[in-house]
Structure 1
Amino acid sequence: MNFAIEKLSKNFEKKEVLKNISFTFESGKIYGLLGRNGAGKTTLFNCVNRDIKTDGGYFYIHDGNQEREVVAHDIGYVLSTPTVPAFLTGREFIKFFIEINEKDIKNLKSIDEYFDMINIENEDRDKLIKDYSHGMKNKMQMLINIIAQPNVLLLDEPLTSLDVVVAEEMKQLLRTIKTDRVIIFSTHIMELALDLCDEIVILNHGVLEVIDKEELNNTEFKAKIIHALQEEEHV
């Protein structure tokens, strides 16, 4: 299964943020979407998720010899700031999510099995989510996407504010769930992208460009990439 973007454009007044982007992402890989803050990474995600209207472009799923347009349940989206219901318990939230999506969930597990997958302790499962730490809320946001198993998972800087232990847990979880889906991991931290991702894609001047990971380990090449991103910041 592949996820294809074709001729995606997005303008905000006179600023052209995404410039006729065409790109194909392969399943089974984590793609690091690298770019400075303000480069348009979140805009790209919001276009794919149809949270904002594009000025042009199409999104397709290629599966074998079949090609079809992307529909809502193909896309999962984890925001940098978790959006989870504060006045439900963790268990109530997962139960509610399963109940409204049950017909679309493959290989349904028990709620406690799902909690075990993301290392939520037994004593925390029946607490109100408003009392969860930022990292736990982020885990809950990730968990509903594990349950739903979307074909394309968009991750918008989800590890930036997490402590080291939780961040490592999340990275390991992403490595275990990447089979049979496309994961696109947005970050402005080059070292994080190198550690976690199979492929590196840079959003620079409104276009996507694949970068060889081996080249990014080269100090001189890395300096050129940083310089290019700094140039964009001053455009």
Structure 2
Amino acid sequence: MRFFIENLSKKYDDKQVLRDITFTFDSGKIYGLLGRNGAGKTTLFNCINGDISSDSGKFTLLTDTGSRELMSEDIGYVLSTPTVPEFLTGREFLKFFTEIHADKIQDLKPLDVYFDYMGIDRIDRDKLLKDYSHGMKNKMQMLINFIAQPNILLLDEPLTSLDVVVAEEMKQLLRSLKGNKITILSTHIMDLALDLCDEIVLLNHGVLEPVYKSDLDNNEFKDKIIAALREDNNA
């Protein structure tokens, strides 16, 4: 499977955030989307997800059955700040999610199997989500995407505010999930991208540029990346 972005542009007032981006992503890989805060990583994700309209551009998915336009059900989106229905318990949330997506979920399992997979203790499964920690809410976001198995998983700074233990658990989970899907993880932390990701892409001045890990042995190239990550939001 391949995901094509063609001629994607987005402008806010007089600021050009995305500049005629054309890029191809392949399945089975985790892509690290590197960029400073304000570089446009979230804007890129929101355009792909359809949360905002782009000024121009096209999204195409190539599967075994042929090429087609990207659809909303192809995409899973995990936000940096978890968004969950806090008036439900963890179990109620999963039950609701699996019931409304029952026709799309393959090999649906008992809810406790999913909780076990995610390492959520039995005592926490019937607690209200409002009483979950940030890390547990993040796990619930990941869990529904594990169940839904979208073709493309967008992760917007998902590990930035997690403690070391939960962050490591999430990294192991992401490695196990990448399978035949396309995972794109945005971050401004180069070490995280190097540790977790198969491919690295730099978003700088509105353009996507592949970063080859072999180039990171070149101090001049590495300095270029660090300089791009340090630029202020008005660059």
TM range (shorter): over 0.9
TM-score scaled by structure 2? 0.97
Residues 23-45 of structure 1, C-alpha deviation per residue, up to 9 Å, x if partnerless? Answer: 11000000000000000000000
Tell me the SS of whatever aligns to 2:86: coil
SS of match in other structure, 2:137: helix
Partner of 1:21: 21
Asked whether the equivalents of residues 78 and 158 of structure 2 are also in contact (C-alpha less than 8 Å), the reply is yes
**Separation in structure 1 between the aligned mates of residue 209 and residue 67 of structure 2, nearest angstrom:** 24
Task: Measure the CA separation in 2 of the matches of 1:222 and 1:107.
Answer: 45
CA distance in 2, matches of 1:217, 1:177: 29
Name the counterpart of 1:201.
201
TM-score with structure 1 setting the length:
0.97
Q: Report what 2:190 is aligned to.
A: 190
Query: 1:64 deviation in Å?
Result: 3.4
Separation in structure 2 between the aligned mates of residue 191 and residue 71 of structure 1, nearest angstrom: 32
- Offset of residue 221 of structure 1: 2.7
Match status 1:60 vs 2:27: no
Partner of 1:148: 148
After superposition, residues 147-226 of structure 1 pair within 5 angstroms as: 147-226=147-226
Q: Structure 1 stretches of 5 or more lacking a match?
A: none
**Structure 1 residue matching 2:87: 3-state secondary structure:** coil
Distance in 2 between residues matched to 1:142 and 1:128, nearest whole Å: 17
Sort the Cα spacing of 1:217 and 1:102 in 2 relative to 1 into closer, same or farther, 3 A: farther
The alpha carbon displacement at 1:219 in A equals: 4.1
> In the TM superposition, what is the alpha-carbon distance from 1:232 to its structure 2 partner?
6.3
Q: Paired residues, what number?
A: 235
Q: How far apart are residue 233 of structure 1 and its match?
A: 4.2
Q: Distance in 2 between matches of 1:79 and 1:138?
A: 8
1:42 maps to which residue?
42
Structure 2: 5+ residue stretches without partners = none
Q: Deviations over 1:42-95 (max 9, x none)?
A: 000000000001100111110136100011100000000000011110000000
Contact 2:135 2:166 in 1 (8 A): yes
Task: For 1:69, give the aligned amino acid.
Answer: E
- Helix, strand or coil for the counterpart of 2:103? helix
Letter in 2 for 1:127: K
Q: 1:219 to 1:72 in 2, by over 3 A?
A: same
Corresponding residue SS for 1:102: coil
Contact 2:34 2:188 in 1 (8 A): yes
1:12 equivalent in alignment to 2:2? no
SS in 1 for 2:173: helix
**Structure 1 79/110 Cα, relative in aligned 2: closer, same or farther at 3 Å?**
same
Deviations 1:5-29 (A, max 9, x none): 1111100011110001011100000
CA distance in 2, matches of 1:183, 1:221: 25
Inter-CA distance 160–229: structure 2 relative to 1 (3 Å threshold): closer
Deviation at 1:110, TM superposition (A): 1.2
State the AA in 1 paired with 2:114: Y
CA distance in 2, matches of 1:233, 1:89: 39
Q: Tell me, what secondary structure is at the counterpart of 2:68? A: strand
